[in-house]
Amino acid sequence: MDAGETLRMSRKEAPREGLLKAALAGKVTNAEVAAALQLTVRQVQRLKRRYETAGAAGLLHRLRGQPSPRRLAPALRAQVATLLRTRYHDVNDCHAHEQLQQVEGLALSRRSLQRLRRALGVPSKHRRRPRVYHARRLREARAGALVQVDASSYAWLEDRGPALALHGAIDDATGEVLALHFRPTEDLHGYVCVLQQLATTHGLPLALYGDRLNVFVRNDPHWTLAEQLAGAQRPTHFGQMLQGLGIGFIVAGSPQAKGRVERLWQTLQDRLVVELRWAGITTAAGANAFVPTFLAGLTARFAHPARDPQPAWRRGPRDLALHLSCRYPRVVARDNTVRLGLRWVQLPPRPRYRSWAGCRVELRELCDGRLVVLHAARVIATHPAPTAAFVLKPRRSPHRARSASPSAAPARRPPGPPPAEGAPGGYRATPRKSPPRPRQARWSSASRPSLSHPWRTGGPATRRSRTTTSPRG
C-alpha cells in the first residue's frame, strides 16, 4: 500500500493492518485480535482473507467513495437551483426554505438548501457575523456580595386563581433563594417587599444585579438643568432607596448575564406550581404565607457553601421602614399642612409655637402606607396608613420632580368642617379654584386724560407740584 492509501484510512481502520500481520504470522490468536479491535472472531477471519487477497486496500470500507443513498435526486437539485437563480435570488435561506416546501412542494432540509446555494455561488442575503467571545463569569466568593433580582409572570396558581408575578432574589455565591413575594404584576411594591425580606432575614448585600426595568434605572432621555450640572440623572425611587442603604446596582446587558435567577424560574415553575396545587392555595396571600415553608426545603436541596466562609452581609438600620419609601420634596403650606395626592398631614407647632409655613421638608410614603414628614433628617410628623389595602406606587417620576419652592406650596385647606375621617392627614377633596378675574383696562374711556394733560406732557404744573411736595431738609 502506498502513502496515499495510508492517509485515507480512518482511525478505526489504521491499527488493523499490524494486528492482522501478527495474526497471520501466528504471534497472536484470532480471539486476541477480536478483543483488541472490539470485533467478533468471524469478522477477524473475513478481514484476514481480504488482507491476504488485496493487501491494506482490502481493509478499507467497501462504501468508500460511493455516493450517499440520502443525496438529493438530480432532478430535484436542478429544479431548486433554477428557483434559487430566478425567483428566490434575493430571499434569505429561512424564507426560501419555507416557500419551497409550502408553495413549490419540494421536500428538502434547510441545511441542504444552504449547501446547494453555496455550490451555485449565490451569495447570502444577510451577512452573518461571527459569534462574539463570551467568558464564563465566576461566582462571587462571599455570600451577600452580589444578589440577583428579577420577576416572573406565570400562572403560578394554574386555573385556581389569578395570574401572578413572582418577585425573587438569589445569592450569586451560594445559589440560595433569599426571598420570594407574589404580586398581581411586576411593580415597585413587589421589589420593595423583596428588599425588606432580604434585609430582615439575612442583611444588606453589597450590590444587586438586575435588568434595565424602569423600576431600577432611568430609561428616559430627559435631563433637567440640575441633572446636567450634576452630570448624572436623578435615580428612580428604588434607586434612592438603594443609595440610602448603601447598596450598589449593576445593570445586566442581557438575560444570559443574570442566568442564575433566570434558571431559578425554571426550577420554581416545575416545583412550586405543583406544591401550591398540593396545598390547595388559591390566593396571593396564601401563596406568600406558603413561601417560607417552601424555601426551607429548596435551600437544603440546591444551596451550596461559598468559597469564602466569611459573609458580606451588613446589618440593616433600625429605621429600615423609613428607608424603604418614596420620597417627595415639599413646601409647608400656610396652614402648616403637607399634601400628597388627596392625603394631607398636619404638622405640630415648632418651639415657641412658631409656624412651619414656607419651610422645605421631605415627605416619605412608606411601604405600609404611612406618611412621614422629615425636616433636617428629623421626623416631625407621621400619619397612619389607610384602612384599605395599600400599594406603594410612585406619585411622580423622578425626572418630573421639581425642586420645592415657596411658589409651589399647596393651596390652603378651605374652611369648614373637617374631612370624613375627622383627623389631620385624612382624605379631602381638591379645593375649588376661583374663576379668573377679567383683565381691566388701565384707563376707562370716561377718565382717560387728554393729550395736553400735564400727566402726559410733563408740563410746568407737574414739575411745580413735584417741587412743592418734595421734602427739603
Taking residues 51-75, report their average pLDDT: 85
Same domain? 243 vs 389: no
Q: Taking the alpha carbons of 262, 263, 268, 274 in that order, is the dihedral positive or negative?
A: positive
Same domain? 243 vs 291: yes
Same domain? 166 vs 275: yes
Question: What confidence category does residue 441 fall into, taking pLDDT thresholds of 50, 70 and 90?
Answer: low
| 8 A C-beta contact, residue 291 and residue 281 | no
274: its cell numbers? 405543583
Q: How many helices (H) and strands (E) does the chain have?
A: 15, 11
Give Cα 185 distance to the centre of its chain: 14
Task: Give tens-digit pLDDT for 387-429.
Answer: 888 999 998 755 555 444 444 444 444 444 444 444 444 444 4
440: its cell numbers? 381691566
Question: What confidence category does residue 214 fall into, taking pLDDT thresholds of 50, 70 and 90?
Answer: very high
Task: Give tens-digit pLDDT for 249-295.
Answer: 999 988 888 889 999 999 999 999 999 999 999 999 999 999 999 99
Which of 408, 434, 461 marks a domain boundary? 408
Is the pLDDT assigned to residue 184 strictly greater than 60? yes
Residue 284, Ramachandran bin (φ over 0: left; ψ between -120 and 50: alpha; else beta): alpha
Which of 408, 442, 463 marks a domain boundary? 408
Give a yes or no: residue 462 inside a domain. Answer: no
Output the pLDDT for position 460: 54
Amino acid at 291: V
335: its cell numbers? 396652614
| 8 A C-beta contact, residue 136 and residue 195 | no
Q: Residue 363: what are its φ and ψ, rounded to 5°?
A: -105, 125
Output the pLDDT for position 411: 43
428: its cell numbers? 379631602
- The DSSP-derived string for 425-468 is T-B-PPPPPPPPPPPPPSS-TTTPPPTTSHHHH--HHHHHHHHH
Of 150-159, 202-211, 252-261, 390-399, give the lowest mean pLDDT range: 390-399
Same domain? 295 vs 359: no
Query: Could you tell me which residue, 266 or 1, shows the higher pLDDT?
Result: 266
Nearest to 454 by CA among 441, 466, 471, 442: 466
Distant-in-sequence, close-in-space partners of 329: CB < 8 Å, separation ≥ 6: 360, 361, 362, 363, 401, 403, 404
∠ CA 291-293-294, nearest 5°, is 65
Output the pLDDT for position 395: 83
Q: Label residues 86-101 b or e (16+ Cβ within 10 Å = b).
A: eebeebebeebbeebe
438: its cell numbers? 377679567
46's enclosing H/E stretch is helix 41-54
Same domain? 89 vs 176: no
Same domain? 359 vs 397: yes
Output the pLDDT for position 387: 81
Query: How many residues in the chain?
Result: 473
Nearest to 443 by CA among 456, 461, 460, 462: 456
With pLDDT > 70 as the criterion, what percentage of the chain qualifies?
Answer: 84
Give a yes or no: residue 382 inside a domain. Answer: yes
Same domain? 115 vs 181: no
Give a yes or no: residue 158 inside a domain. Answer: yes
DSSP 43: H
Task: Give tens-digit pLDDT for 296-329.
Answer: 999 988 999 999 999 999 999 999 999 999 999 9
Is the pLDDT assigned to residue 45 strictly greater than 90? yes
Q: How far, in Å, CA of 301 to CA of 299, rounded?
A: 5
Residue 377, Ramachandran bin (φ over 0: left; ψ between -120 and 50: alpha; else beta): left
Give Cα 43 distance to the centre of its chain: 62
Reported in sequence order, the residue ranges of 98-206 that DSSP labels E, i.e. its strands, are 147-154, 164-171, 177-183
Same domain? 167 vs 214: yes
Give a yes or no: residue 461 inside a domain. Answer: no
Same domain? 160 vs 286: yes
Output the pLDDT for position 420: 43
Output the pLDDT for position 12: 85
User: How many domains are there within the chain?
Assistant: 4
DSSP 314: B
Give a yes or no: residue 463 inside a domain. Answer: no
Domain that holds residue 28: 3-59
Question: What confidence category does residue 458 fall into, taking pLDDT thresholds of 50, 70 and 90?
Answer: low
Question: What confidence category does residue 129 fall into, taking pLDDT thresholds of 50, 70 and 90?
Answer: confident
Same domain? 248 vs 383: no
Output the pLDDT for position 400: 55
Task: Give tens-digit pLDDT for 349-380.
Answer: 999 999 999 999 999 999 999 999 999 999 99
Distant-in-sequence, close-in-space partners of 327: CB < 8 Å, separation ≥ 6: 237, 240, 362, 363, 364
What is the number of other CB atoms lying within 10 angstroms of the CB of residue 110? Answer: 14
Of 87-96, 102-111, 453-462, give the lowest mean pLDDT range: 453-462
- Using a CB cutoff of 8 Å and minimum separation of 24, what contacts does 296-301 make? 298/177, 298/267, 298/271, 299/176, 299/177
Same domain? 171 vs 297: yes
Output the pLDDT for position 132: 84
Task: Give tens-digit pLDDT for 21-32.
Answer: 999 999 999 999
Q: Residue 111: what are its φ and ψ, rounded to 5°?
A: -65, -40
Same domain? 152 vs 259: yes
Of 6-10, 118-122, 360-364, give the lowest mean pLDDT range: 6-10
CATH number, residue 178: 3.30.420.10
Output the pLDDT for position 403: 44
Give a yes or no: residue 167 inside a domain. Answer: yes
Question: What confidence category does residue 444 fall into, taking pLDDT thresholds of 50, 70 and 90?
Answer: low
The strand pair at 371-375 and 378-383 is best described as: antiparallel
What is the number of other CB atoms lying within 10 angstroms of the CB of residue 30? Answer: 18
Cβ-count burial of 402 within 10 angstroms (0-12 exposed, 13-18 middle, 19+ buried)? exposed
Give a yes or no: residue 64 inside a domain. Answer: no
Question: What confidence category does residue 446 fall into, taking pLDDT thresholds of 50, 70 and 90?
Answer: low
Is the pLDDT assigned to residue 186 strictly greater than 60? yes
Give a yes or no: residue 450 inside a domain. Answer: no
With pLDDT > 90 as the criterion, what percentage of the chain qualifies?
Answer: 54
Q: How far, in Å, CA of 450 to CA of 445, rounded?
A: 11
Q: How far, in Å, CA of 343 to CA of 336, rounded?
A: 14
